[in-house]
Chain A
Amino acid sequence: MSLTLKKNITRPFIALFAGLLLAGILFTAAEAQNPTPTDNEVNAVAKQLYCPVCENISLDVCPTTACAQWRTLIREQLAEGKTAEEIKEYFVANYGDRVLSTPPTRGFNWLVYILPPLIFLGGVFLVYRVFRSMKTRKPEKPVVPPAEPVDLSQTDPYLAQIEAELEQHRKHGQ
């Protein structure tokens, strides 16, 4: 009797335990399966990386077998729970800075970012100088069209015509 009672009491416990265990297994299994990254997640990372073999093609669109393997690698690392930054670091460590879409901002690479603005500023300065010289040398004699801001391009065809006719005239004169 007591035995059956015991049995009756322990059975639910066993069931509960087994249930919990099963749920736990299922849950961990689900968790392990969950991070199978989608193509879009893979592409989001691959987009930021450049194919180390083909020039200037980002990894998400490169059709070569090598790149397909690299995408698989990204997928595996995403599945391991690595972040996009970690995966990028992994690729840089293995294939060099060239896998990044732009040179990392350090050392010699600063040149690529600094030089164009410097040259552009130089250009701005030149243009500024031109404007300044214009301002300091205010016109002694009046400018050509001061009375009315007429668009001189209007008169151009006529100048051209005069020239053409003069030429014709010259030819006939010869």
Chain B
Amino acid sequence: MVSNFGFGALAITLVVSIYGIFAAVYGARKNSLAWVESARKAMLLTFPLISLVALSIIYLLVTGDYQVQYVYNVTSSTMPIYLKVTALWGGQAGSLIFWSLLLSAFASAVTLRKWDRDREFLPWVIVVALVTLVFFVGMSLFFENPFVRFWQTAGGAEAVAMFRPAGATDLAPFDGRGLNPLLRHPGMIIHPPMLYLGFVSFVIPFAFAIAALVTGRTDDRWIRVTRRWTLVAWLFLSLGLLLGSRWAYDVLGWGGYWAWDPVEIAAFMPFLSGTAFLHSVMIQEKRGLFKRWNMVLIILTYSLVIFGTFLTRSGVLSSVHAFSQSAIGPLFFGYIGITFAVSLALLLHRWNALRSEGEMHSLLSREALFLLNNLLFMGILVVCFWGVLFPLISELFTGQKVTVGPPFYERSTGPLFAGLLLLMGVAPLSAWGHSTVKTLGKAMWKPFIVSLLVPVLAFALGVRAPMAFVAFWLCGFVALITLYEYYRGVAARHRKNGENVFLALWNLMGRNRRRYGGYIIHLGVVLIALGIIGIEMFQTETQGTIPPGGKMSLSGYTISFDKLDIFDTADGRNVARAVVSVERDGKALGQLYPRRDYYYDSQQPMTIPGVRSTMEDDLYVLLVDWEPISSTGVTFKVYHNPLVNWLWLGGFVFIFGTLVAAWPEKEPEPVRVSAVNRKTTSPGVQSAD
């Protein structure tokens, strides 16, 4: 009943969306406001419609209607209610509906904005949003239907179909298989929505870009309108990636946070092109350069968003076999190919209108350095894309499966990331239009001198690896430059206005949120880099079997095994939980509880580490194995992860900076006042010396 209702609502959504596309195109062609308005209503209608679809699924999940295949696959009766609700995005079919829901919410929100000054964009923004929606809703309707049910045919066979086959009876399994235990974690409840929000909100700037191309209004209006949308998209994507890493660290039990898995890379790629886009649009805004390149970047980001959505859930890229067997693989590729080709054709159509207004005049100007930044981001993107695709291509042409694992990505992207880090420090100091070695040198020699203390300090603390010195110096240099920028701005305000330090800092950031928010993001990146350097270069590990009272040592820590408890829980788990005491230099530091949860319903084990976490390092203890009678011994794997906490701290700083940059501006003061203020209070580079 509810299944049929949800399915009906899904079908109506498709019809309404297709109508909306035609109404918008017709309205734009005939210049008819009424038709465009009708298209807008259609767009707005999709949101309640898909909400009904999603609510139907949630109802089925919560009531445990196991006749529905999706419900059977992702829930079981022992799961708590919040997990049943969030199982909406626990599988492929539900995820696609969830994606559509978010897209229609975002697109509806956009159509509700004031359109006075860019009315000509409206129909085309609707078209792009609805075409995307039609693709996803169509996919749900025809290939990944979340409402298909089990039936018992007259012949006694089991069938899976949306509607009752002739003569068939209901077939409802007694209980579901349950959600993959790896996904039963708070991180996994928030992580997919964040990632999807990021994916979906990148559709908006893309829609405006296409609208600009179609209407021929190729000034930077589309960029200004979507600047905040892009930042919000980027914010959610970053949050999604960070939460995903944290989840991996907490749940997957291999001592790391990032494994260069195709699924991770799929989410990382739109982030790369999106970050390049965020920087590159600034060049267009300030200097009227690279208009074509910005179009390429946003088109690429859209394609990668669709690619990422497809890859994160389906797993069909794992082999040619899986790909050719799945209906949605070729469809997704087809859709990406067609939208990419159409977008590029539009871009070529407007190629001449997108000529640069200005020219670059200096190799050290901000725009030149931003161009280098784009080059490096694209370099990393190419490595990622090729690394993900190559196993498939290899299998296709040679029949030989290969693994493209972390060493490939680490070696090829490492230098590029280092280059990005360096640019991140230097570029904000260079001026738009023109910079020389002298002006740049003047701005950074002080932080440079101070930064040389960092490797010395590292040496004093016992660091000996040559690459680590370079890496730490780079972090120190960039952090110092960025902090120095703040200092100069604050000092200038303090001197000229007599503002105290905090007020000066507040006003400085308030007056140019984008710039100073950006600096906070950069500081966040430095902290993240610090964490990554720590765990990548200095991680140590050991594994051993010890009896109760036995000890193991690693990097100055000693753990001793106290006891092991094995028990069943009410929510259908069998838990083996070890109690381990940690000490360092003879001082007791407390206990850790690494455990192994075995889920009866899905028959999967899950290893949950016991972690002692400080800003200096993490001690990460895993329960690997144990003898049936616990007295004979338990195998532990212990990781020592230096500095890894800076990664998460950096994540917070990063997100905070993005919020500062994206925060809506206050009501603008009248220009006269600010023009006067500007003379006396202008902060930043020129007034500092």
B142 touches A (CB below 8 Å): no
**Shortest Cβ gap from A22 to chain B (Å):** 31
Distance A98 CA – B403 CA, assembled complex (angstroms) = 5
Assess A96 versus B684: contact at CB under 8 Å? Given A56-B262, A145-B431: no
B512 and A154 contacting across the interface, CB-CB below 8 Å: yes
Complex CA–CA separation, A100 to B394 (angstroms): 14
Q: A102-B403, A103-B390, A165-B670 are in contact. Are A157 and B383 (CB under 8 A)?
A: no
**Chain A residues positioned under 8 Å from B567 (CB to CB):** none
| Cβ < 8 Å to B, chain A residues 26-74 | 38-40, 43, 50, 55-58, 61, 63
Q: Inside 8 A of A107's CB, which chain B residues have their CB? A: 398
User: Does any Cβ of A come within 8 Å of B78's Cβ?
Assistant: no
- Contact in complex: B408, A112 (CB < 8 Å): yes
Tell me if B80 is interfacial: C-beta within 8 Å of chain A.
Answer: no
- B515 CB contacts on chain A under 8 angstroms: 153
Chain B residues lying within 8 Å of A152, measured Cβ to Cβ, are 286, 431-433
CB distance from B235 to the nearest CB of A (A): 21
B584 within 8 A of A: no
Separation of A111 and B255 alpha carbons in the complex (Å): 32
Given known A102-B404, A116-B386, contact A130–B432 (CB-CB < 8 A): no
Determine the distance from Cα of A116 to Cα of B413 in the docked complex, in whole angstroms.
10
- Known pairs A39-B545, A63-B253, A157-B511; A151 contacts B685 (CB<8 A): yes
B675 at the interface (CB under 8 A from A): yes
Q: For the complex, count residues of A whose C-beta is within 8 A of B.
A: 57
The reply to whether the CB of A156 lies closer than 8 angstroms to some CB of chain B is: yes
Tell me which residues from 524 to 549 in chain B have a Cβ below 8 Å from any Cβ of chain A: 541-545
Q: How far is the CA of A45 from the CA of B570 in the complex (A)?
A: 40
Roughly how many angstroms separate A139 CA and B461 CA in the complex, as a whole number?
A: 52
CB contacts (< 8 Å) of B670 on chain A: these are 165
In the complex, per-residue mask of B252-268: 1 if CB is within 8 Å of any chain A CB, else 0: 01110001111000000
> At the interface, yes or no: A161 with Cβ under 8 Å from chain B?
yes
Contacts of A167 on B, CB cut-off 8 Å? 116-117
Does A85 touch B at the CB level, under 8 Å?
A: no
Are the C-beta atoms of A151 and B432 separated by less than 8 Å? yes
Binary per-residue interface labels of chain A (100-140) against chain B in the complex, 1 for a CB within 8 Å, 0 otherwise: 11110001110110011001100110010011001001010
Tell me the A residues contacting B by CB distance below 8 Å.
38-40, 43, 50, 55-58, 61, 63, 96-103, 107-109, 111-112, 115-116, 119-120, 123-124, 127, 130-131, 134, 137, 139, 143-146, 148-154, 156-158, 160-162, 164-165, 167, 171
List 6 A-B pairs, minimum CB-CB distance, nearest first: A39-B543, A61-B254, A101-B405, A103-B402, A149-B431, A98-B401
- A selection of 26 A-B contacts at a CB cut-off of 8 Å is A38-B544, A39-B542, A39-B544, A55-B262, A56-B405, A97-B400, A100-B402, A100-B403, A101-B403, A101-B405, A102-B407, A103-B402, A111-B390, A112-B408, A115-B386, A119-B382, A123-B378, A127-B372, A143-B361, A143-B433, A145-B434, A149-B433, A150-B685, A161-B674, A162-B671, A167-B116
Contacts from B to A (Cβ < 8 Å):
116-117, 253-255, 259-262, 282, 285-286, 318, 358-361, 363, 368, 371-372, 375, 378-379, 382-383, 386-387, 390-391, 393-394, 397-398, 400-408, 412, 431-436, 439, 511-512, 514-515, 541-545, 605, 607, 635, 637, 665, 668-671, 674-675, 678, 682-686
